[in-house]
């Protein structure tokens, strides 16, 4: 039996790793251990029961005010200790977080085979987003299996010299999670009329965050003034300083809802209900596409170019006039169809986790190539 350790530390990692954990646990050959770093304590804890995940170990490394270097150092040390104790045959990491990069380093130092889920995303600029673009490029240097979610991400890896036999086109596991864990009836937090044009906002990227909060707040204020039917829901990330800047830049308004970080199903309910989402989140770009909701990306570049190519997303930056110009036609357009039902999504078809499990079985159990499910490239 092969022992695999799945490492996670943030809510998006848990959402995207959960389908892989469950797919592997359905295989008789796999012993799967889940390891949490606790990088995002509260947001992670609230989503784990919903995903039916119980970590086999929780390092609880989150410390208020800790910098990136301090977090990374503690993670590498603790992960190295547990990997020595558990002696896994393979380690799986997801995405581009500090947790993923720390686990990749610890795996490399002990020469444990590493699988990178959601490999190959690139903006082409090392500091955008910061530090995630560096993390995902660095993980690619030490990964044995690169699970690319889209043809574009596969092409990015090939351009960097990753051997094609180490890249596997799988789709993005967030689509698996949406199909498996999201109920048909999502929570309706605000209870608005179906015809009310709701604009949903999330903002958390580190790059020039304080300045961008002010710009987006100005856009929201102007939107409320010029569109008397519109409602704005701003889901605030628990990043220090966001609330203070919003207090200054976005006064209270009867059609403005400033919301704390929400439980994941509640957030998805808002996303499925909105006319348009303004966000700098990579995961929300994918979720919006899956739920058929237009997305304006509050950045100058995105690593999820498939959304731009399909028309599901547009780059908007944070200039208020640009945001409003792109938003107006979306508010006037006919209501989107039923969210996420039978609509092709550029990020996958909901079978990514099974494809990943197939690849690992072919290499860890049989030790030789074997026929894989449709969509996987060996």
275 is catalytic: no
Cα 286 to chain centroid, rounded? 8
Residue from 132, 176, 236, 306 carrying the catalytic annotation: 132
Question: Token digits for 311?
Answer: 């028309």
Question: Token digits for 153?
Answer: 């991400």
Give the Å distances, CA to CA, from 98 to 102, 261, 284, 321. 6, 21, 19, 35
| DSSP per-residue letters across 288-350 | HHHTT--EEESSS--S-HHHHHHTSEEE--S-HHHHHHHHHHHHHSPPP-STTSS---TT--S
Question: Going along the chain, which residue ranges are E strands?
Answer: 2-8, 30-36, 57-58, 90-94, 113-117, 145-148, 167-169, 198-203, 231-236, 256-259, 276-279, 295-297, 313-315
204 is catalytic: yes
CA–CA separation, 247 and 309 (whole Å): 36
Which residues touch 5 (CB under 8 Å, ≥6 apart)? 32, 33, 34, 35, 82, 83, 86, 88, 90, 91, 92
- Given a contact cutoff of 8 angstroms between Cβ atoms, the answer to whether 298 and 279 are in contact is yes
46 is catalytic: no
Which residues touch 239 (CB under 8 Å, ≥6 apart)? 204, 209
Give the Å distances, CA to CA, from 32 to 17, 21, 26, 108, 116. 12, 7, 10, 20, 16
- Given a contact cutoff of 8 angstroms between Cβ atoms, the answer to whether 339 and 291 are in contact is yes
Question: Token digits for 103?
Answer: 């686990």
In eight-state DSSP terms, residue 122 is: -
22 is catalytic: no
CA–CA separation, 104 and 184 (whole Å): 37
Residue from 11, 78, 116, 118 carrying the catalytic annotation: 118
Residue from 78, 96, 287, 354 carrying the catalytic annotation: 96
CA–CA separation, 275 and 3 (whole Å): 45
Residue from 206, 207, 244, 319 carrying the catalytic annotation: 206
Question: Token digits for 156?
Answer: 């990015």
Residue from 41, 204, 212, 355 carrying the catalytic annotation: 204
Residue from 137, 237, 239, 258 carrying the catalytic annotation: 237
253 is catalytic: no
361 is catalytic: no
So which residues are the catalytic ones?
96, 118, 132, 204, 206, 237
């Amino acid at each position: 039996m092969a022992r695999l350790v799945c490492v996670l530390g943030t809510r998006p990692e848990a959402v995207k790793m959960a389908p892989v954990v469950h797919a592997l646990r359905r295989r008789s050959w796999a012993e799967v251990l889940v390891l949490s770093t606790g990088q995002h304590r509260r947001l992670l804890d609230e989503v784990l029961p919903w995903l039916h995940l119980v970590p086999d170990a929780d390092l609880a490394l989150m410390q208020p005010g800790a910098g990136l270097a301090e977090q990374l150092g503690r993670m590498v040390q603790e992960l190295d200790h547990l990997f020595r104790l558990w002696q896994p045959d393979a380690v799986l990491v997801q995405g581009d977080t500090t947790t993923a990069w720390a686990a990749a380093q610890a795996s490399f130092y002990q020469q444990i085979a590493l699988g990178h889920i959601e490999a190959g995303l690139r903006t082409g600029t090392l500091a955008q987003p910061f530090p995630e673009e560096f993390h995902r490029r660095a993980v690619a240097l030490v990964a044995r299996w690169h699970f690319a979610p889209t043809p574009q991400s596969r092409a990015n890896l090939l351009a960097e010299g990753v051997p094609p036999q180490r890249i596997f086109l799988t789709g993005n596991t967030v689509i698996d999670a949406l199909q498996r864990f999201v109920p048909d009836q999502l929570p309706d937090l605000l209870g608005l009329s179906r015809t009310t044009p709701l604009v949903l906002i999330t903002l958390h990227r580190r790059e020039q965050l304080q300045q961008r909060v002010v710009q987006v707040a100005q856009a929201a204020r102007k939107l409320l003034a010029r569109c008397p039917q519109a409602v704005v829901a701003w889901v605030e990330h628990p990043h220090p300083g966001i609330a203070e800047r919003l207090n200054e830049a976005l006064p209270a308004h009867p059609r403005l809802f400033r919301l704390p970080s929400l439980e994941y199903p509640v957030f998805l309910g808002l996303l499925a209900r909105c006319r348009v989402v303004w966000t700098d989140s990579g995961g929300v770009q994918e979720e919006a596409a899956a739920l058929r909701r237009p997305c304006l990306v509050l950045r100058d570049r995105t690593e999820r170019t498939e959304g731009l190519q399909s028309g599901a997303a547009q780059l908007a930056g944070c200039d208020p006039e640009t945001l409003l110009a792109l938003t107006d036609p979306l508010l006037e357009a006919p209501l989107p169809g039923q969210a996420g039902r039978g609509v092709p999504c550029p990020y996958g078809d909901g079978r990514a986790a099974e494809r990943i499990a197939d690849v690992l079985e072919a290499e860890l159990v049989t030790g030789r190539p074997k026929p894989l499910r449709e969509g996987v490239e060996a």
